[in-house]
Structure 1
Amino acid sequence: MKHMKLKRVLSAVVAVALMAALAVVPGSAATASSFTDISDPATAINADVLRLMGVVNGVGGNRFNPSGTLTRAEFCTMVVNFMGRGDEVPLHATRTIFTDVTSEHWALGYVNLAASIRLGEGEETFGLIGGVGDGRFAPDDKITMAQAVTILLRVLTYSSKQLGAVWPQSYMNLAQSIGLTDGVSAGTYDNITRAQAAQLFTNALRCKTGSGSVYYRELGDKNPKENVVLLAVGVVSEDGTDNGAIRTSDGTYLPRATGAQPSALQGRRGALVLNDRNEILTFVPDDSTSITITLSGDAQPTYVKAGSTQYTISSSTKVYTADKAEGDTYLNVYSTLKSGTQLTLFSERGKVVAIYASGATSASTDAVVVMGSPSVAMFHQLTGGATNFTIQKNRRTISLSDIQPYDVVTYDAMTNTLVVSDLRLACIYEDASPSAKAPEKIHILGHDFEVLESAWDTIGQFSLGSNVSLLLTADGKVAGMAKPTAQTRSNAMGIVTSGTAAKMFLPNGGTIELTGSKSDLSKLTDNLVTLSSGARDRLNASRMTSGSVTGDFQVSAMKLGNYDVANGVRIFEQVGSAVAAVDLSALDGTIPAKDIDAYHRDSSGQVDYIVLKAVTGDAYTYGILREGEQTGGGDMPYTNRTVTVENHGGKGSTFITGYAFKDGGFGGVVKGYGELDGLPKAASVIELTELKNVSASDIFISQGVPYINANGKTYRVADDVECYKQATKDWFKQESGADRLAACKAFSSSFTIYVDPIGEKVRIIVAK
């Protein structure tokens, strides 16, 4: 390239308390342990897995003491709770089995229960624990690695035959082979720390048992839910009666262990184990690692990009959103993942195995319309009490103070994100169903807008026929209705598609088709415009304009002069009356101010639209240029030159042109303004540069994008590249440019390429 049922605000006292208790932190910040003295991430996860199970609850003061050692009695207590048999302890606290574990010892019930448990089947049964001889248990002695491993192997129901005859060597060998001792560096006879014990227990959940099943799959209802993401802790339960629930991608549940808030597990993916009361028994993190990225450029069929880093995605990889917790394949949804969308990628062994998309792409079901200064308390009911959420506006992370009055805020539980929309459409309240005061749908400008219940209070203030401003969510639902004022004036943007219709852009990257039979927008067809309506069934459009551009567009820094550019910025190239969308990832370096026609800023001051002049060449239609004539004039005859473009789609529109070009040559045409005797005028006609002697080895893929080396230079292949068979004088007819390129390469190994003089992309490939 060259160059408002509005959410009721809580009482002041509650609001102050909540603001003191909650904090909004960036989504990239690591989630801290629920124990205050754990800094190691692995230990934090292990300790919180056990806390969720009720196996540990710390040593007081919300401390875990990870470097402290464990006694045999303490480890025995952990084992009983790990097996889910803590409720049986009182039944075993009235007798003495070991002479040194009497009624005066705090662990009497636990030790007696553990000594009474028999495991295995048939004749091959065995006890969970034994003493140290002489009828003693030595409850206050420190437990060693070998002793801890032996007990856990018995929990896993390994028989004496499977364990081997030589203790502790054969036991340790088996433990290593099944992964029980992974990540634990203690020697066989070393006393283990509490952190090492937590690692052993967490490993045991994933280990195979003596019968060959995985231990955690034998717990609870024995039907664990796999590939679940733990989203938030300390949220309101679904029935609204408890503030200690845990939200997951599968639903919201209460933990079996009272008060468990395993914050270190937030954002982790794994297996969710429930009991028959639908309570969480445990959560077993899988081996995946995760990274949260923001897309720079729209997602492509085989990859996504964040900055200069590209991530290859399989077409079958599952993509999850708040409204599709069951997931869909990447192939089906990649086109909805627009530039600026936040994704969390889960990887195993270097491969992306799951994707969780932010709320900018998902459907909203409830909303808050901000009135006055925003506060954390304002969103408490919306989030269910979840904290540490991120805030995104136009797919760019913002702070709480950046939210403006009349902004609409929805919540994506999947990614714990507040999604802010400032989209407003000034219009006439035309029709509603089933009623005008509490509608489920509002019919305006040919579109049925879905209405959230949170909008009913404000909608009830207006009657049909009123001039209103619709306050819309990022996915185009009505969250509120307001009287048009300077603060609520229409800021809807779109592109005119015909004399009576336009597509309105949504913050989530989608569009809504608006129509007005009484409209006359023909002179603005294909133009980028602001949209509104001042009369029933009449769509108004004004071409987008801006003040002078005072600075360059620094693509990597996402800066236009001194203004921040939103991650979800929509970029267009306009030549004449033709407008082409430009993917952010197709740009690099710096776009000079002289090549920028206009820009638009949202209510937070971010640049959300940029219109370029002829920078990329993408606004042109490319193919074989055919010269023709238009005659007319009657008594004063005239003849005008015409140009028609032929490509894989056949013959395109014919344009009046004064530009000189080679008839039958390869080139491009872009539509201009106006007509002459029914034919549109061409704004520009360009001829392409021919480069011969290109071989198949000169064509290569880099970061998912095709390039061609020719004459000592590297050219990017246009996404919509046309391919032509020289021998048969016919076009490759595949639907997409990528498919046409693949067919062209399969057909021949020798090519001539044609490059445009504007963006210097390969527009046409001729197979010899």
Structure 2
Amino acid sequence: MKKRITCALLVLVMLAGALPSSALFTDIVSDSERWAAESLASLGIVNGTGGSAFNPNGTLTRAEFCKMAVLAAGFSEVSLYSSYTIFPDVLASEWFAPYVNAAVRKYQIIRGDSAGNFNPNTPITYGEAVTILLRMLGYTVEDIGYFWPCDDALKAEQIGLNRGMRSFSTSDSLTRGQAAILLRNLLMTEQKEGGLYITKAFRTGDLSVLAATWETDTELANGEVRLYAGEDASIVTSSTALSRDLVGLRGTPVYAQTGNKLLGFIVDTENLETAVVQSTSIDAITTADGSKISIPRSCKLLVTAGMVDYTASYYDLRPGAQIYLYRDDGGSVSLVTGGQTTLSLASVGVYGVDDIVFVRGSTILKNGSEITEDEIDKFDVVSYVSDEKTYYVSDDRVTLLYEDAKPSYASPSTITAGGHTFSISEEASRYFQDLTFNRTITLLFDYNGNVAAAFNSARVGGKVPAILTELGGEATVKLLSNGLELKGTPSFSGFPEVDAGDGEGVSSLYAQVGRIVGFSQDNQGRFTFSTYSFRDTSAGDIDPVKGTVGRYEFSPEIRIFEEPAEGMPLNEITQEDLGPVTLSASKVRHIERDSAGKVSLLVVSNVTGNGFTYGLISQTQTQVPAGEDLEGNTVYRTQYTLNLRTDEGTQQYVTFRNPGLRNTSSMVPGGIATSVLAQTYSEAPPAFKLERTATVGRDDFDTREGVRVGNVFVELADDVLIYAKSIDRFLTLNEARSNFSTFEIYCDRDPGDGGTVRIILVS
């Protein structure tokens, strides 16, 4: 398969020094300022002002510029220069003291004013800044001239120190964005005695194109980047996470004086142009503004296939792609890099695989929550809706056995996987070219639930959460992410048999029916499962009104499930079902948070009472044969029988675990988990006894809707059961109020916690 090179150009925040993942500055509009700032940030010379901001139009103080200057010189001995005072207005306790002290003692590039002060918090002027940098380059007043600062500004222009900058008078305050260009120029300027200044503290590589980083190319290992020096590709390890905004640009790789790890990358802006493709031909590129750029046969092109001749792959530059063009000394285009495409309406791409440009100022949503590009994971599907200027990101996927494709294997419009037929768009069909039948593949879905891509499961796979809804000779699962229902032959591997009585064994997988499981299909076509461990139960109280669990907000797409009793099948409920009052943290059984840190999955213990069938329950127990011991003697096991009586008749449930009720033939108000009544086996005790909440009179009822218990109005369940023991009958409420005066109320939980009346005994 061809190597794919991704150039992602959405600006995010880039902090100084090594980072676990790259980030970009989001507030720099100027390309030249942004590339300079990102280049310096890769070496730890500059950083942002907080969050994703660089504040390019803000001014720099003399202390701030001094720090940047000595860091550009390779300064690192902070502790050696932080314990003394040189200027009376630069105390040793100030954050900038070691940098100012080093600038005086180690580099001799700054001086105080006539009063002996440094004035650290005064904005630095353009004239002061170039004077400092000229000293760093080895120039003296004899080389420059005695008319400061005009001679210094003139010298800076002569040697190209201000190339790419806007015009400044010597007394103008220097902005942060323009200071970044000035310092970038310093690094790439010849010293008075020869050699680029950057080589004083660093080692440089050959001029190269930064083709990809480990974050933009899934074929690269963590920390790796791919460089092209001419047509030669190399993979190097970086000690810092290079900004994705630098991918696709040509520049100078920067290394430590010793060792082979890449420290940073300085963008080369000489003869660089940017454009957006409207159309291409074998000898020209027409840009979005209607301009036509001639391309000679000798031009090279860096696209998904690598560094190739432009004539061999010009068609890979798709409409909407932002590209970089480099001209030679004669003005001809010698190199085009890019291949990244802005997703259009209804278009999708796979992050880290496809070439995606993020439109600045757009919104990125994942699972309904706003995120940054940094929070998009490899293999997430990105869909752009231009009318909304919004990117929708989906991490929905499933691993299934690839069975068939029509009408062609290489470009199918439908495929069969996991016994299910999926429609495949023309855009998604390209992912099936190298896939093989009777092997597992992982399907990736967009935010609408459509198949957007597919990969060999060895490349991206794993189990996904699903509800095991049915189990027998065939299993039925429902994916938690998008509701897709699949049926197939189950594998019971990993789930040992347990004794079900009468010498019969049954797989413990049956205990997972109705619960969340990890799901995938194997190469033999079997549905395979894993238990889904509940975790993170100490997040805090649930506030259904605010939509929070502790300090975590609900995701707009939160899924909430209720576990009526431990180990029981789950019932999906809504935020409204949680009620109007705060629920104790003890009700939290499990939470998961999305990329934005919001709660996307919440499992609670019994909070609605709706997961049970209520009625009059009795429990008995008997000893039943369970096999023989080694001597041939019959071994017995306790079998518990529950009888649940309602106005529709009596249901019976048998279990080998004590449900916890007192053994008696007397019928008492209680409930059994509804889902358990339909099962042949369950490991968890399924029943509980209801405690009497209160005794009221007929006048305490408010028609058929509720009853007053003290000062609390308690709702009646729609299927509330009313039983008269004296006549052994279930009654309607009107019938009961007409003939009886005393009403024992049984609620599923405390009325103060939103309890509902489930059973009423009348006398």
TM-score w.r.t. the length of structure 2 is 0.43
Larger relative contact order (C-alpha < 8 A, sep ≥ 6)? 1
The structure number with the bigger radius of gyration is 2
